[in-house]
Structure 1
C-alpha cells in the first residue's frame, strides 16, 4: 500500500516538474506570454506574485522621460491606461543603472541628465518609489521585450485625461507638473 502511494506521489511530482519545465521554456521562447497571463490575473494576485518573487523590500522607479516640452507615457501590455515607464530596482543596481536597463529593455533608448525628483514610501507596504527625470537619448524608440504595448510623447500641457492615466501614477505626474512650475527638485515623502 505504501509502495503504491509512494509510486503515485513520485509520478505526480515528475508530472509537476515536467509541467514547470515546459512552462519555463514557454516563457523563454515566448517572452510576451508572461505578460499576457499576468494581465488576466486580479491585481491582488499580481501584487502577491511580485512580492513572492522579489526582495522583501522593493524599490520601484518611475521615469519622466522628456523630449523637449513633451513627456513619454506608455501602455503596458497588462494595463489599459497610460502610465510612466518604470520598473523595479534590481539587487546591487544603482538608480541610474536601473533607469538605463529598463528603458533599453522596454524601448531601446537611453536617458541622459538623470535627476532624482522624488522618494516616496508607499503607506502600509514595504515599497519605496523613486521618481527620476531625464532627457531622451536617441530618437529611435521601439518596443522591446513585450512589456510595453504602446508609447507616445505628449505635450506636457496636453496629457491624457486623469481617468486615462494609471491611478498610482496620477499623483506623481501632478507633482511633477507642479514642480516644473516651481522649479522644485528632490522631494521626500
Structure 2
C-alpha cells in the first residue's frame, strides 16, 4: 500500500498535508540511533503514515523497514507542524509535514540497513550529534536533549 503515491496520482505536485512519525531510539549507553540517508544527510528513522495506521503503527513499521529493529513501548514527545515543516522535494512534490516524535528504548533485534534508503545506521552520543544532521531532524531532537541525557 502506498497512500501518498496514490494521492499524488490524483493531485499532482500540489501541496498536501501529510502525517508521519519518527522515533528517537535510545540504546543502553544512552546513545541515539541515526540513519545516514542516501541523500547524504543524517536523520531519524521514520516516515509517512499509510491508510489504516495509527501514528504509533507508523513509527513501528518505519523503524522496522529502515533498521530491522522491533520497537516495543513508545512515548510521545511532541508533534511538529506549521510553515517550518513545508517541503518541496526534487521531483516537485510539495507538502506540509505533521510529524509525531516518539522515544523508545524498548528495542529488539539486530540493525539491518535498508540500502534503498540508507547508507548506514549509527548510534551517537547525545552531546556529539553528526554535522550532517539535517535541520528538520535536529528540530525534532533538540527540544528533548535535556530529558534524554537524564
TM-score (norm 2): 0.74
> Greater strand share, 1 or 2?
2
Of the candidates 39, 46, 54, which is equivalent to residue 94 of structure 1? 54
Q: Does 1:177 align with 2:145?
A: yes
1:160 matched residue in structure 2:
130
Change (3 A) 1:110 1:54: farther
Counterpart Cα distance in 2 of 1:110 and 1:53: 34
Equivalent position SS for 1:57: strand
User: CA offset at residue 136 of structure 1?
Assistant: 4.7
RMSD of aligned Cα (Å): 2.8
1:4 matched residue in structure 2:
none
**After the TM superposition, which residues 74-93 of structure 1 pair with which residues of structure 2 at under 5 Å, given as runs?**
74-77=35-38, 79-93=39-53
Q: Do the aligned residues in 1 keep the contact of 2:23 with 2:59 (CA within 8 Å)? A: yes
Q: Do the aligned residues in 1 keep the contact of 2:21 with 2:56 (CA within 8 Å)? A: no
User: CA offset at residue 95 of structure 1?
Assistant: 1.5
Q: Which runs of 5+ in 1 are unaligned?
A: 1-47, 184-189
TM-score (norm 1): 0.60
2:89 matched residue in structure 1:
none
Equivalent position SS for 1:105: helix
Counterpart Cα distance in 1 of 2:117 and 2:148: 29
Change (3 A) 1:76 1:100: same
Larger Cα-atom Rg: 1
2:114 matched residue in structure 1:
144
**After the TM superposition, which residues 9-20 of structure 1 pair with which residues of structure 2 at under 5 Å, given as runs?**
none
Q: Which runs of 5+ in 2 are unaligned?
A: 1-7, 87-95
1:130 matched residue in structure 2:
100
Asked which structure has the greater RCO (Cα within 8 Å, sep 6+), the reply is 2
Q: Which moved more, 1:60-69 or 1:122-131?
A: 122-131
Q: Does 1:110 align with 2:76?
A: no
After the TM superposition, which segments of 4 or more aligned residues of structure 1 sit over 3 Å from their partners?
Answer: 51-56, 178-181
Equivalent position SS for 2:83: coil
